[in-house]
Structure 1
Amino acid sequence: MSQDEVIFRRFESGDTDDVWHMHRSASEDVGVRGPEGAWEDDLRNIGEVYIASGGDFVVAHIGSRLVAMGGLKPVDGDVAELKRMRVDPAFHRRGLGRRILSELESLAGALGFKWIILDTTKIQVGAQRLYETAGYVRRKEGMLHGYAVIFYHKRLTGRDAPPHMIDDIVSLDNPV
């Protein structure tokens, strides 16, 4: 196996520390790292929050180094929320964001989800570009955990849902 070969696999409990460190360093790199808080508790319990709930969490490695990650958290039977998508700052501009997004979309389809929703901060212009070029549609803007965010959705399969359905799921009063 080449040192540059990227291996995608499901999260395992031994990945917990690496996932936490990537989350914190990648968040700091884009200017959205605040104090640790309850909003990050999902990363301390990935097996239950993502996998056991019917979603998934994927990590990508080059050799032994974690270089990208992301999760799918079920909202309901048709909708999954894409969460915690991160790429190691040292590995930006290598297509890893697009590849992990593609992995997560494939998994969402295989798990039976018809829609993916997500949010990203307004200052993360690179993430916005990634999602928009991958077919995600801006749904609305708001505030979440003190940051101005943009909410997106993408239909994976099936017929279009009524616009109010997505608005109901992406509720600013009940952030996921």
Structure 2
Amino acid sequence: MSQDGVIFRRFESGDADDVWHLHRSASEAVGVRGPEGTWEDDLRNVGEVYIASGGDFVVAHIGPQLAAMGGLKPVDNDVAQLKRLRVDPAFQRRGLGRRILSELESRAVSLGFKWIKLDTTKSQVGAQRVYETAGYTRCAEGMLHGHPVIFYEKRLAGPD
């Protein structure tokens, strides 16, 4: 446990409902929550989609409360896609997004990935700032699920 009471650990099956609720509430808070759809199926099967596939999914708790989360989904042997980085609106602006991003990057290096790719909506200026200050480079723009998005990538430090 860290000095501020935040515990980072791998997703466990008992986290499923909390992960779903954090995804929906955090998405709503930034104005990107749409109707439930197949684009969210990964969150109904985190163990298989993220962990069993060779990636990872991290949750951060403060006491009993799920405060933040994020996943790494393998694209190929060298590239992981960062997905579902969420911070509970009640815990935002405390550096948790940066901390869980750093935790996921460390796990990506230990899993042998050389690159992380991700996307975020154009409206999520706070998320863009987190990624850009962490060394991510904008590489494209597009549309996903009806939202304008920015695509980012970062070369990870680590053995080649």
Does TM, scored on the shorter chain, surpass 0.5? Answer: yes
Q: Is the 8 A contact 1:3 1:63 kept in 2?
A: no
- Residue 77 of structure 1 aligns to a residue in which SS? coil
User: Structure 1 CA distance, aligned partners of 2:154 and 2:37?
Assistant: 29
1:106-117 mapped onto 2 (5 Å cutoff) = 106-117=106-117
Deviations 1:17-39 (A, max 9, x none): 00000000000000000000000
- Residue 152 of structure 1 aligns to a residue in which SS? strand
What code does the residue aligned with 2:129 have? R
Deviations 1:22-66 (A, max 9, x none): 000000000000000000000000000000000000000011100
Q: CA RMSD in A?
A: 1.6
Corresponding residue for residue 21 of structure 2: 21
Deviations 1:96-154 (A, max 9, x none): 00000000000000000000000000000000000000000000000011000000000
- Residue 9 of structure 1 aligns to a residue in which SS? strand
1:55-70 mapped onto 2 (5 Å cutoff) = 55-70=55-70
Q: In the alignment, does 2:148 pair up with 1:139?
A: no
User: Structure 1 CA distance, aligned partners of 2:3 and 2:108?
Assistant: 29
User: Structure 2 CA distance, aligned partners of 1:157 and 1:60?
Assistant: 24
Sequence identity (%): 83
- Residue 119 of structure 1 aligns to a residue in which SS? strand
- In our comparison, the structure showing a higher alpha carbon Rg is 1
Q: State TM-score, norm by structure 1.
A: 0.88
Corresponding residue for residue 5 of structure 2: 5
1:23-172 mapped onto 2 (5 Å cutoff) = 23-157=23-157
Report deviation, 1:157: 3.5
What code does the residue aligned with 2:85 have? M
Structure 1: tracts of 5 or more residues without a match: 160-176
Q: State TM-score, norm by structure 2.
A: 0.96
Report deviation, 1:2: 8.7
Corresponding residue for residue 170 of structure 1: none
Moved over 3 A (4+): 1-4
User: Structure 2 CA distance, aligned partners of 1:139 and 1:2?
Assistant: 34
